[in-house]
Structure 1
Amino acid sequence: MSHRIVLPRLMEIGAGASQQLAAVLRSLGCSRPLIVTDRMMVELGYVDRLEEQLQAAGIASQRFADTLPEPTAASIRAGVQMVRDGDFDSIVALGGGSPIDSAKAIGILGRYGGEMRDYRFPRDVCEPGLPLIAIPTTAGTGSEATRFTIITDETSDEKMLCAGLGFMPVAALIDYELTLSLPPRVTADTGLDALTHAIEAYVSRKASGYSDAQALQAMRLLAPNLRTAFHDSGNRAAREAMMLGATLAGIAFSNASVALVHGMSRPIGAFFHVPHGLSNAMLLPAVTAFSIPAAPERYADCARAMGVAAQTDSVETANQRLLAELQALNRELQVPSPGQYGIARERFFESRETMAQQALASGSPGNNPRVPTQAEIVELYETVWNQA
């Protein structure tokens, strides 16, 4: 059995990588980029720095800075219209996963038209959008190296998974210095998102030797450094490890797919506007406990890669330590339960069936070592609510 591996054409990794944008655009034959970003990147001065770099190189650019933290089909329409009305030959995505996901969708819709729902899974979007150069500013989603985007249909509160080669950036500039100003809450949520990517890629039914290598190394980088980055935002070594780990985790799940945590996480985000990494963290311990019986050796490997179990530990001991570590991480990184986050119990429970349906429809639960029924997903939502 063969496995197709998809990567950006070019990745520039390390301190100052974002300063290579003009050179990378020229190497790709691009000279008229649209910068897709958000208001925070503007306020921090990151967008001005990019524009100054491009201007010095004689490259004219425009900006669309109205992306939202949880992008919707409506929130990207103005950006799509800019592409349709303009003469852009490329898109530069600057920010966390949301601006990058927005940029991916804008590049496809701007070139081919239609509505975002036309491109959702199970459609395989192979059509090339405008060439996309991704510059991540969080160590989390790995979107700079994935063939996926997530856009919410605000009319139905469904987070739509869209997949295909058309969403893969042609280049990624992975500059950990852009993460040094991240506050603890964003550091925790994005870091736990990256760790979830690595674990789910490794246990996925679509895993391969290639994705395994990326996932295991991601766990080795992420797990020992997440607490340090959370408590000491200026720790450059921890930030660098987190950034590389997040990208490797993105490569892993882009080529092996995510599983049940992500399938259940997207509806929580869509219905209750919980940040994606945070909803993953809420779910990860309970879903891992549910899944371990179907792949105990794989989960034990995760525990060893994360440094919480020794090579000499039994599979059972390693898995006990994995679950204990996931719970301890959530406590130390102050991950709230759904109720503590402010979700009303009645609304959460009345939404369980619909959320379970949407989770299954996304396809992600089918990659899980233990493939759940809809009833089991409903029970897992109840477990997550009650585990606080």
Structure 2
Amino acid sequence: MQGFEFNTTKRILCEIGAIKLLAQQCQSLNIGRPVIITDAGIVACGLLATLLNNLHNLFTDDAIAVFDKVEADPSEDIVQNAVDFAKAHNADGIIGFGGGSSMDTAKIVAILSQQQNLTPQTLQNIYGVDQVAGTRLPLILIPTTAGTGSEVTQIAIVTTGETTKAGIVSKQLLPDIALLDAELTTGLPAHVTAATGIDAMVHAIEAYTSKIKKNVYSDMLAKEALRLLSQNIETATFNGHDLNARQNMLLGACLAGQAFANAPVAAVHALAYPLGGHFHIPHGLSNALVLPHVLKFNEEIAFKAYAELTPFVIKGVEQEQTPHALSQLFIEHLESLITRLKIPNKLHMLGVKEKHLPKLAKDAMLQTRLLINNPKEMTYVDALAIYKRAF
């Protein structure tokens, strides 16, 4: 067996109603002046009030501060404003509450608002891999979508320009506690539940086929993630108040996050990022748009892996079939699932024009950090052909 390293969040609380334990968890980390990093949507739907009600058992109003200006694909300005806000509050702990953007922002704030470091760092000098030095503030992450797995990943993504993004990769970004509570996800619209669920499934699939760091531990997590996600995504999407389905989706997304945090994602994400950068298509939807076409591209190399995953996405499938046949079933099932979830499946439905495809393919080829993990080498011509099939 090939040697490997595996890193993840120190503690995971996975329980319906776990939000009631938040004040206790803050106390365990010696947090006395928490800053909550979230977005306006969380405030508008009443979820922030739920969180605050559970903090007021321990904290006075003036001890808690809320930064609710995070936007999807947060810009450097938003992240820096959040850091300045936390410093002004003299925060001694950070709570990230929301989707991937809020949690990613919270991770960075926990690092850059730590004022005890001898050499304070700036946002610009922590981009890349292992550029974070010193310590961070105590950090709790609470997802309100079952998709990104950000609560267990050591990466944060920041929008650096009109169409460009940069990543920060460091073990310091892993929180002290991830809190998974389905009661915080029941208000999620069906289309968001569907797209973020597909995002989580992509994390598991790409971790399982990752060319460089695939390992026995990430494989185990990816399989169980796919089982949970596949069996619950339709119920969670169309019966959003089913707490059991919602909790299984949260756990599935978390397991998929642990898997891809250690066996990184590949071409699906590489082709999805330009769609978000140029057309502001949500990340989960971007993944869904290119997923079937990347799977077909990879199949000649990855068919055995896809065959191994088939029983985890299709309950009761006849496993005596050939690997090629099972692989075909796997791809067809995912394509059908995207249709059943009523997710748009063509680029032209979302404002992409055929003239844009060469630029998208060019930008996808810049995602070398991701493409090196793909089971099959991808060229510009391949990327363009995939966009054309998705168009």
Return the offset for 1:123.
4.8
Match of 2:152 in 1: 145
1:314 aligns with 2:322: yes
1:124 to partner: Cα distance: 4.8
**After TM superposition, where is structure 1 displaced by more than 6 Å over at least 4 residues in a row?**
none
Aligned to 1:338: 347
Which residue of 221, 237, 260 maps to 2:267?
260
SS at match of 1:162: strand
Counting only pairs closer than 5 Å after superposition, residues 1-388 of structure 1 correspond to structure 2 as 1-58=2-59, 60-111=63-114, 112-116=120-124, 118-125=125-132, 127-155=134-162, 157-205=163-211, 206-307=213-314, 309-336=317-344, 337-346=346-355, 348-360=356-368, 363-385=369-391
Aligned-partner residue type, residue 259 of structure 1: A
Q: Residue by residue, what CA displacement relative to the aligned partner does 1:105-141 show, whole Å, maximum 9, x if unpaired? A: 222333444234x333345546443221001111111
Q: Is the 8 A contact 2:72 2:101 kept in 1?
A: yes
Aligned partner of residue 342 in structure 2, secondary structure: coil
Residue 374 of structure 1: how far off its partner (Å): 3.2
Q: Distance in 2 between matches of 1:237 and 1:55?
A: 28
Q: Are residues 164 and 142 of structure 1, via their aligned partners in 2, closer, same or farther at CA, if it must alter by over 3 Å?
A: same
In structure 2, C-alpha distance between the alignment counterparts of 1:178 and 1:27, rounded to whole Å: 22
CA gap of 1:154–1:230, structure 2 versus 1, over 3 A, is same
CA displacement 1:66-86 (0-9 Å, x = unmatched): 000221212222111113333
Tell me, in whole angstroms, the C-alpha distance in 1 between the residues paired with 2:321 and 2:32: 55
**Whole-angstrom distance in 2 between the partners of 1:343 and 1:74:** 27
SS in 2 for 1:173: strand
| Whole-angstrom CA distance in 2 between matches of 1:312 and 1:177 | 40
Structure 2 contact 270–370 (Cα < 8 Å) conserved:
yes
TM-score (norm 1): 0.93
SS at match of 1:76: helix
SS at match of 1:37: strand
**Whole-Å Cα distance in 2 between the matches of residues 44 and 353 of structure 1?**
38
* Distance across 1 between alignment mates of 2:318 and 2:189: 33
Counterparts of 1:303 and 1:210, CA distance in 2: 19
Letter of the 1:239 counterpart:
R
Deviates more, 1:337-346 or 1:280-289: 337-346
Q: How far is 1:97 from its partner? A: 1.1
Contact between 1:126 and 1:165, CA under 8 Å: does it hold in 2?
Answer: no
CA change 1:128–1:286 in 2 (3 A) is: farther
Residue type at the aligned position of 2:372 = G
Between stretches 81-90 and 36-45, larger displacement belongs to 81-90
Q: Which moved more, 1:119-128 or 1:144-153?
A: 119-128
- Distance in 2 (CA, whole Å) between partners of 1:95 and 1:170 is 17
Equivalents in 1 of 2:333, 2:265: separation in Å?
Answer: 21
Deviations 1:138-194 (A, max 9, x none): 111111111111111124x11222211121111101001111111111111110001
323-332 vs 213-222, greater mean Cα deviation? 323-332
SS in 2 for 1:66: strand
Assess if the C-alpha contact under 8 Å between 1:365 and 1:371 holds in 2. yes
In 2 relative to 1, CA 341–353 (structure 1 residues): closer, same or farther, beyond 3 Å?
Answer: closer
Inter-partner Cα distance in structure 2 for 1:217 and 1:375 = 35
CA contact (8 A) 1:127 1:165 kept: no
Distance 1:129 1:200 in 2: 30
The letter for the 1-side match of 2:78 is: S
Question: Separation in 2 of the partners of 1:318 and 1:120?
Answer: 41
How far apart are 1:207 and its partner, in Å?
1.2
Query: Partner amino acid for 2:207?
Result: A
Q: Once structures 1 and 2 are overlaid, which stretch shifts more, 258-267 or 244-253?
A: 258-267
After TM superposition, the structure 1 stretch with the greater mean CA deviation from structure 2, 264-273 or 190-199, is: 264-273
Asked if the contact 1:32–1:90 (Cα under 8 Å) also holds between the matched residues in 2, the reply is yes
Unpaired segments of 5 or more residues in structure 2?
115-119
**2:221, 2:258 within 8 Å by CA — same for their partners in 1?**
yes
Aligned counterparts of 2:310 and 2:132: Cα–Cα separation in 1: 35
- Of the structure 1 ranges 348-357 and 24-33, higher mean CA displacement relative to structure 2 is found in 348-357
Number of aligned positions between the proteins: 380
Q: SS of 1:367's equivalent?
A: coil
Structure-1 separation of matches of 2:121 and 2:342: 42
C-alpha separation in 1, matches of 2:250 and 2:44: 22
Percent identity of the aligned residues? 35
**Conserved? CA contact 1:159–1:267, under 8 Å:** no
Contact conserved, 2:194 with 2:233, CA < 8 A, in 1? yes
